[in-house]
């Protein structure tokens, strides 16, 4: 890790007490071009490290007007610290302890929500307004489920600055990431120029990325990220990779739940909701995020199941989270 004056792709300088810093064994993911499809955009991957202080990084490739795809090399970077005071105490022990999280067992549905999203625009004010209204809609959907499970709720912050710095450290380079979530400050970072470069004005893509990153916010509020971190301390490299996949696939599933809750209502018509959910198939399978098939399977598990119990990736057998 470099100092704050060094390479901005890395986090802040490590403290003297290294026991307070929890680093994932997953360091670098290189993305190859995804399979060609007719979709107007491609969601290559949403990279994250399973830590309490975590950067969850969205990295995309886009279909250009000429029918080719751009690809990006993604670095999964994060620096962790002690669990945040306003999140539930992390469950400790086995994978079953994570699966028993009270948001997941017995599970809760999301209410149907009428989103009043403005038309997506590419100017800073327009994009900021779209994301803020999107977060307000996500709040309406997720607050009741978290409250019913006896969990705390707070709306995440939003930052669309082009060169943001979070409490998780410096933002990854522009060639590495498009959007990310930092659990340490509970802010979703959607740098405007990056999103416009990689997503243009494709509403379905912007909505899918926002819903996925919000899914990591839900995991942070529920104590799932903290519980996974506790498990990761005892894990070897293979289990750490599987924990990352379980976490990422669950964020896909949470996104699918939200899209089902708003689809066909308000400003999100059924076609837009379905297109956003199905975009999770437009990915490159990785050791940290799972196969293309499983990424779609879990997004649709949330979309069709409509309950957080349907998103319990931590109770699924290993082949289901490959």
Report which DSSP code applies to 7.
-
Find out whether 215 and 295 touch, Cβ atoms under 8 Å: no
How far is it, in rounded angstroms, from Cα 317 to Cα 321?
Answer: 7
143, 222 contact by CB (below 8 A) = no
Q: List all residues 6 or more positions away from 126 whose beta carbon is below 8 Å from its beta carbon.
A: 118, 119, 120
Rounded to a whole number of angstroms, the distance between the first and last alpha carbons of the chain is 29
Q: What is the pLDDT along the chain (322 residues), one digit of tens a residue?
A: 333 333 222 232 222 222 222 222 222 222 222 333 333 333 333 333 333 334 565 544 443 334 333 332 332 233 333 334 345 655 556 899 999 999 999 999 999 999 999 999 999 999 999 999 999 999 999 999 999 999 999 999 999 999 888 998 888 777 667 789 999 999 999 999 999 988 899 999 999 999 999 999 999 999 999 999 889 988 999 999 999 999 999 999 999 999 999 999 999 999 999 999 999 887 678 888 899 999 999 999 999 998 999 999 999 999 999 9
pLDDT digits (tens, 9 = 90+) for 17-30: 222 222 222 222 22
Q: Calculate the CA 161 to chain-centre distance.
A: 19
Helix (H, G, I), strand (E, B) or coil at 188: strand
Count of CA atoms in the C-beta half-sphere (13 A) of 53: 21
| Contact present, 267 and 116 (Cβ < 8 Å) | yes
Question: Domain locations in the chain?
Answer: 22-80+93-312
Of the candidates 20, 27, 31, 19, the one whose C-alpha atom is nearest the C-alpha of residue 1 is 27
Secondary structure element (H or E) that encloses residue 159, with its range: strand 157-159
DSSP secondary structure code for residue 173 in this structure? P
Helices (H), 82-223: 95-99, 124-148, 192-199, 203-222
Structure tokens at 270: 């059924």
How would DSSP label each residue in 53-120?
S-EEEEEEE-B-TTS-B---EEE------SPPTTSPPPP-SSHHHHHT-TTTSS--BPPP----PPPP
Task: List the structure tokens of 191.
Answer: 């740098």
């Amino acid at each position: 890790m470099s100092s704050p004056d060094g390479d901005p792709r890395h986090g802040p300088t490590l403290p003297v007490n290294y026991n307070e810093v929890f680093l994932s064994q997953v360091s670098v993911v290189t993305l190859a071009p995804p399979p060609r499809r007719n979709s107007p955009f491609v969601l290559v991957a949403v990279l994250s490290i399973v830590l309490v202080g975590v950067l969850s990084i969205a990295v995309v490739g886009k279909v250009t007007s000429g029918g080719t795809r751009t690809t990006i090399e993604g670095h999964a970077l994060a620096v962790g610290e002690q669990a945040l005071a306003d999140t539930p105490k992390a469950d400790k022990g086995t994978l079953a302890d994570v699966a028993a999280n009270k948001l997941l067992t017995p599970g809760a549905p999301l209410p149907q929500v009428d989103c009043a999203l403005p038309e997506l625009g590419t100017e800073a004010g327009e994009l900021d307004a779209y994301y803020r209204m999107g977060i307000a809609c996500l709040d309406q959907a997720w607050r009741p489920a978290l409250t019913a499970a006896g969990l705390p709720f707070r709306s995440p912050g939003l930052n669309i600055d082009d060169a943001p710095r979070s409490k998780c450290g410096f933002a990854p380079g522009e060639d590495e990431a498009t959007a990310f979530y930092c659990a340490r400050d509970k802010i979703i970072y959607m740098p405007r120029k990056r999103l416009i470069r990689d997503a243009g004005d494709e509403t379905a893509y912007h909505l899918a990325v926002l819903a996925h990153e919000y899914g990591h916010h839900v995991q942070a509020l529920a104590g799932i990220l903290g519980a996974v971190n506790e498990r990761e301390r005892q894990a070897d490299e293979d289990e750490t990779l599987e924990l990352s996949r379980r976490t990422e696939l669950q964020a896909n599933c949470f996104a699918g739940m939200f899209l089902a809750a708003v689809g066909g209502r308000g400003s999100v018509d059924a076609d837009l909701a379905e297109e956003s959910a199905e975009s999770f198939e437009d990915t490159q399978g990785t050791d940290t995020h799972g196969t293309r098939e499983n990424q779609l399977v879990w997004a649709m598990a949330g979309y069709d199941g409509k309950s957080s119990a349907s998103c319990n990736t931590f109770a699924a057998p290993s082949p289901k989270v490959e």
